[in-house]
Amino acid sequence: MKHFFLLLSLCAISCAVPPKRIAAVVTEYRHNSHADVIVSRLLLTHTLDKKGERPNLKLVSLYTDQVPESDTSRKWAKKFSVPIYKTVEETLTLGTGKLAVDGVLLVAEHGKYPKNASGNTIYPKRRLFDAVQKVFRKTGQTVPVFVDKHLADNWADAKWLHDTARELKVPLMAGSSLPVLWRYPPVDVKRGAKLKEIVAVSYHTLDAYGYHALEMVQCLVERRVGGETGVKRVQCLSGDAVWRAMDTGMFDRKLLYAALKRLKKSPITRQPKRPLRELVKTPDMFVIEYRDGLKAFVLTLNGAVNEWGVAWKTTAGAQKSTTFWTQEARPYMHFTYLVKGTEKMFFTGQPTWPAERTLMTSALLDALLISKNKNGMTVPTDYLDFKYTSNWNWKQPPPPPPGRPSNQQ
């Protein structure tokens, strides 16, 4: 019997699925950067302390576009014997001239880069992906690619990246961690629902966190009847124009308050109560008119909220609301479920959720920031007439481990 269990154990070890070999192409790698909380999971486990579950992914190469004084890539590369290359081509070929990895993590978030005319940071996503696709063309081989957050800071580059991946038949995923994290209560838009309106609340900057809010909204509305059908026009209102829109009934105030009530630190329930107009000095509101009649409103309410909440109603009047919760402490466990999504793609060769979602949110952010830069002018989006459907289903993650101070490992 002992021999049987020994053989069983040896079989389990020998039959284990070997990890996929991953190249990471990042803008900068420092403590708590996106490169850290995504790529470091391949080195330090999902809890970033060598104690938790480890993804079945092996980091075999690294490229850093910038190296700040606070860089940690060199420390981790030395500790885990990961070579750092000077070019993207070498990172994907390991210097052999042949494609030598099973997947690419492209994390172009953080670093010192200029902003475009509308205020969106110009991260070098097109330049870095261009280097990746040149390797694919040169070697005649491709592997799945994950692009963190949006595809690009502007529509033209985002569409080029998406279309180039499609041309080369590259499995492509992108996006925010918000769609995959905890929701309280754990609800979703019913697939095939006839949605009429959705109202979300957000905070922080419009480019970095406004993008997350758009991903939160889009992962919900893409489940409506007919799937995604495109966007007709957008607008970004600011300051008193937001309060006038609320007073005149541009959006359903009941949905706004339903979203606010779901927050753990809600301005609706905390004492002493103060009106939103006193708490929020400079509100912003994204207005999105979809081609099928659905309307979405995303209010950035700095001074009143530092969480994400959302509420929606159907054409029949049924309402739902929830908060999207992030762990704002190490190990930032919500990134675990983003990495798990990429891991699934690296093994199956099929995107876990559609890249078209992120193509849409990338384009929306670009157009909305153009509207803000032009004092709230309505921006037609005839080019966003593409359709897509998503078979991805959200699942509530297990409770996260206790958070550690952000300055700790």
pLDDT in tens, 55-94: 999 999 999 999 999 999 999 999 999 999 999 999 999 9
> Could you list the residue range(s) of the whole structural domain that residue 391 is in?
178-330+354-409
* Paired strand residues for 285: 237, 299
| pLDDT of 347 over the 50 cut | yes
Look up residue 135 and give its two tokens: 């390797």
Kindly state whether residues 310 and 323 are assigned to the same domain: yes
| pLDDT of 161 over the 60 cut | yes
Kindly state whether residues 132 and 65 are assigned to the same domain: yes
What is residue 339's predicted lDDT score, i.e. its pLDDT?
98
Do the domain assignments include residue 40?
A: yes
Kindly state whether residues 170 and 30 are assigned to the same domain: yes
Taking the alpha carbons at both ends of the chain, their separation in whole angstroms is 44
Query: Strand, helix or coil at 288?
Result: strand
Kindly state whether residues 62 and 187 are assigned to the same domain: no
Phi, psi angles (nearest 5°) of residue 287: -120, 125
What is residue 15's predicted lDDT score, i.e. its pLDDT?
54
Do the domain assignments include residue 307?
A: yes
What is residue 6's predicted lDDT score, i.e. its pLDDT?
43
Q: Which of 128, 153, 175 is the last residue of a domain?
A: 175
Confidence of residue 407 (pLDDT cuts 50, 70, 90): confident
Pairing verdict, β 379-380 and 145-148: unpaired
Q: Which of 175, 205, 230 is the last residue of a domain?
A: 175
Phi, psi angles (nearest 5°) of residue 110: 85, 155
Look up residue 174 and give its two tokens: 């992108």
Contact 353, 179 (CB under 8 A): yes
Contact 79, 13 (CB under 8 A): no
| pLDDT of 2 over the 70 cut | no
| Position with higher pLDDT, 4 vs 113 | 113
Give long-range contacts, CB 8 A cutoff, 24+ apart: 129-132: 129/161, 129/164, 131/25, 131/87, 131/88, 131/89, 132/25, 132/88, 132/92, 132/104, 132/106
Domain of 252, CATH number, reads: 3.30.360
pLDDT in tens, 129-157: 999 999 999 999 999 999 999 999 999 99
Do the domain assignments include residue 157?
A: yes
Do the domain assignments include residue 1?
A: no
Domain of 74, CATH number, reads: 3.40.50.720
| pLDDT of 231 over the 70 cut | yes
Kindly state whether residues 223 and 256 are assigned to the same domain: yes
Structural domain count, the chain: 2
Percent of the chain with pLDDT over 70: 96
Mean pLDDT over residues 285-313, rounded? 98
Kindly state whether residues 190 and 165 are assigned to the same domain: no
Mean pLDDT over residues 240-252, rounded? 97
Confidence of residue 4 (pLDDT cuts 50, 70, 90): very low
Q: What is the pTM of this model?
A: 0.94
Residue type, 374: K
Helical ranges in 225-350 per DSSP H: 240-247, 253-261, 276-279, 334-348
What is residue 264's predicted lDDT score, i.e. its pLDDT?
93
- 280 contacts: CB under 8 Å, gap ≥ 6: 301, 302, 303, 304
DSSP 24: E
Kindly state whether residues 375 and 324 are assigned to the same domain: yes
Q: Which of 141, 175, 209 is the last residue of a domain?
A: 175
- 321 contacts: CB under 8 Å, gap ≥ 6: 187, 255, 258, 259, 261, 262, 309, 310, 311, 312
User: Element (H or E) spanning 38, and its range?
Assistant: helix 34-39
Give per-residue burial for 209-242: e unless 16+ CB within 10 Å, then b.
bbbbbbbbbbbbbbbbeebbbbbbbbbbbbeebb
Helical ranges in 104-252 per DSSP H: 125-139, 155-167, 208-221, 240-247
* Tally of CB atoms within 10 A around 308: 27
Kindly state whether residues 29 and 76 are assigned to the same domain: yes
